[in-house]
Every structure is written in C-alpha cells, then in structure tokens.
Amino acid sequence: MAQIVVTAEIVSLLYLLVILYSVLEGIQHNKKSRRFLECLIVGFLAISIDVGVYFIRCNAELEMLRSVLDLLDFIMIYILEVCYSFYMLSLMNDKRKNVTPVWACTIGTVAGIGILADVVLADMGKLFTFENGAFIAGDWFVYAVIPEGAITVFLIIFIISKSKILGRKDAFISSFFLFVPLAAAVMQCIFTDWVFIYVAIGWLISGIYVLLQSRTSNEAKLREEFLSETTNIDQLTGLKNRRAYDASLKLHEDDLALGVIFTDVNGLKTTNDDKGHAAGDALLRNYVDILKRHFYFDSMYRISGDEFVIIIKDSEAAFEKMVESFKRTVMANAQIASVGYCYRNNGETIYELVAKAEKIMYTDKEAYYIRKGLNRRRT
C-alpha cells in the first residue's frame, strides 16, 4: 500500500511542478494569483515531506528526523487550509470589495491552536510513535485529525454560503474539491495505513488550477489587455494615441534603420469653424483612411488634434518609396495634409528625428499657404 501511495504522490509532485511553472510564467500581480501560488507551494512541500518520510521509514538512525517530518505532515494540513481560506477570500474580493477577512483570520487562529496541540501531543507520544520502524498511531491520533476536518467542513459551508459572490459554478468547484482531502482524512482515521490525504491534496490543487485559477487568470489578462488597448487608442480615428506614441519613442531609441513622418491635416480649423466639428471629424477620418492605405497600424499615431506621426523601421530605400507613394496620394486629395519626413543617417536620437520631420512639415505647410493664398491663422 505504501508503494502505491508514494508513487501517486510522486506523480502529483510532477504535475504540480508543471502547474508551478505555468503559474510563475504568467502570474498576474494581484492577490488571487499570489494566494493560489501560496497554496501551490505549500501543497508541493507537504507532498514532498510525505515522500521523504517514505524513503527514510526503515532507517532507525533517522527516527528523530522521521518524527519531525511526520509532525510536519500534520502541520502542513493546517497551513494549507489557512492558505486556501485566504485564496477564497481573494477570489471573493475580486468580485466584491467588502468581504470581511474575519472568517479567514478565525481559521488561521484555530489552525495555530491546532498546530500547537499537535506539537505538544507529538512530544508526549500521544500523536504517534514508532515500533520497529513502523508508524503507530497514538491514542490522540484521531482527535488530532478532527480539527483539520472541522476546518475543511467549515470552509465548504462558508464557500457555499457565499455562492452569490463567487458565482454558483466557482463556489461548486471550490467546495467540491475540498471533499476529496476530507474523505481521505476520514479514511485515514479508520484505516491508518491508507494515507491518501496528500494525494488528495494534489488532486485538490490540480483541480482548482484547471477549472478555476487558470480561467480567472485568463479573464484578468484579457481585462488588462482590453484596458491597455482602450487607454492607448484614439477614440475618433482608431489609431494609437499620444500615450502610445510616447511609449513607442522609448522603444525605438536604439533602432538604426528608422524613419519618421510628421504630418498635419490642412484646413481642419477652417472646416470646424465654417462647417462644424462633425465635418472636421469627417475630414480627420478621411485622412486616416489614406494613412491606413500606406502604413501599418502599429506605426501610426495621432499625437494631437490634427497632427499625426508615422514611425517606420525599414531600410532608407524602402522608407523613401513609402513616403513618395504617400505624398502622391496626399496631393491627389487636394493636399489634405502637410508632410515632413526624416531618416536616421547621422546617429540622431528618435526625438531629434521627430523634431527634424516636424520642421520640414512646417516648411511644407508654409508653401501650402502661399500656394493657396490662405491666412495661416485662419486655417
């Protein structure tokens, strides 16, 4: 029986290692992910300790070490219950911010008392003893397991009572998997050789990860990506905004093959004043359609009302070709915008490139005013 148990525990450890790698690789910096990681680490350590007990069980010289590890077996259950209760609290607070932590703190207090009791009972020889290297349950063995089971029952009841906060599906998953180690603990009280509780703990953590934690982490990641996109996108044009532009400048600081195009829509103020802002918005959207025909989405930014910057990472020849094609389209549309551009040739910083392209754009705009006979302040 012991060989079957330890084999199952080793399999559980390997699976928990895979989960640990996944959690650490994509961990979200919020409480529920950190709390789950705590459960995962405690569970892994608990199973590892039980496996260690198996490999030293027949060595009489290591009986003291085995006593310590067997005591830790009892203590780790309490620690895991406390970690799990705070993990549930973090899930509830993720959905409603006013869930009191009193119940989780109460479990922590009861667990602390249970740990002290186990230490005293183990020291008195009432929790367990050894005979010819074999583990013998003490007179108080069953009574020591009862508080652990009581905490688990309380957790199940409490989780079910909070199903409106967690959601019925999550409450069912969270409480259902607790029945597995609870049943294993009951079996251990009846058949002391059937030590499947740590296998059950591995089952608990694995099930929670597969059916609950991975889903909530993915949901959190999607929410984060959505918020990031909405805060970096200009609502009128759908292009990236000034915030995204500022971040992009830092990313392109070390790019050698880099060109910048600075453009300004002509006549936007006149259109807004004479025809209304709806017409001005239509003019901007029309210009954005032109930009989209020539450049990739990730390269275009609306940095102010009528100003747009395009950052191109390509060879100088390819950049010049794109600019010429773009300028032809601009001129074909009644020179809808003034254009300035610059390519990095002399080690300029990205900020210097933008400044040069902007200066050339203003020269182009002055020429546009002169050619059209327009008042710059008016337009």
pLDDT in tens, 286-315: 999 999 999 999 899 999 999 999 999 999
Position 162 scores a pLDDT of: 85
- Residue found under tokens 């929790």: 127
Residue pair 303/309 in contact (Cβ under 8 Å)? The answer is yes
CA distances from 324 to 263, 318, 341 (A): 14, 10, 11
Q: Report the alpha-carbon angle 181-183-184, nearest 5.
A: 60
Mean pLDDT of the chain: 84
| Percent of the chain topping pLDDT 90 | 35
Fold that domain 242-372 belongs to in CATH: Alpha-Beta Plaits (3.30.70)
Position 193 scores a pLDDT of: 57
pLDDT surpassing 80 at residue 258:
yes
pLDDT greater at residue 285 or residue 254: 285
Q: Which residues pair with 262 in a beta bridge?
A: 309, 340
Beta carbons within 8 Å of 341's beta carbon, 6+ residues apart: 259, 260, 261, 262, 319, 323, 357, 360
| Percent of the chain topping pLDDT 70 | 86
Question: Closest by alpha carbon to 28, among 213, 231, 174?
Answer: 213
Q: What does the domain layout of the chain look like in residue ranges?
A: 2-230, 242-372
Question: Closest by alpha carbon to 237, among 218, 216, 265?
Answer: 265
CA distance 41 to 35: 10
Residue pair 280/315 in contact (Cβ under 8 Å)? The answer is no
Q: Which residues pair with 240 in a beta bridge?
A: 233, 301
pLDDT band at 260 (very low <50, low <70, confident <90, very high): very high
Position 230 scores a pLDDT of: 62
| Mean pLDDT of the 252-269 span | 91
pLDDT in tens, 40-53: 899 899 889 888 88
pLDDT band at 63 (very low <50, low <70, confident <90, very high): confident
SS3 129: strand
Question: Closest by alpha carbon to 294, among 281, 310, 305?
Answer: 310
pLDDT in tens, 128-175: 887 776 777 788 887 888 888 888 889 899 889 888 888 888 888 888
Q: Spelled out in words, what is the top-level CATH class assigned to the domain 2-230?
A: mainly alpha
pLDDT greater at residue 22 or residue 223: 22
SS3 135: strand
| Mean pLDDT of the 172-195 span | 72
SS3 175: helix
Question: Closest by alpha carbon to 107, among 128, 136, 85?
Answer: 85
pLDDT band at 196 (very low <50, low <70, confident <90, very high): low
pLDDT surpassing 70 at residue 12:
yes
pLDDT in tens, 203-242: 778 877 777 776 666 665 655 555 555 678 898 999 999 9
CA distance 29 to 26: 9
pLDDT greater at residue 184 or residue 256: 256
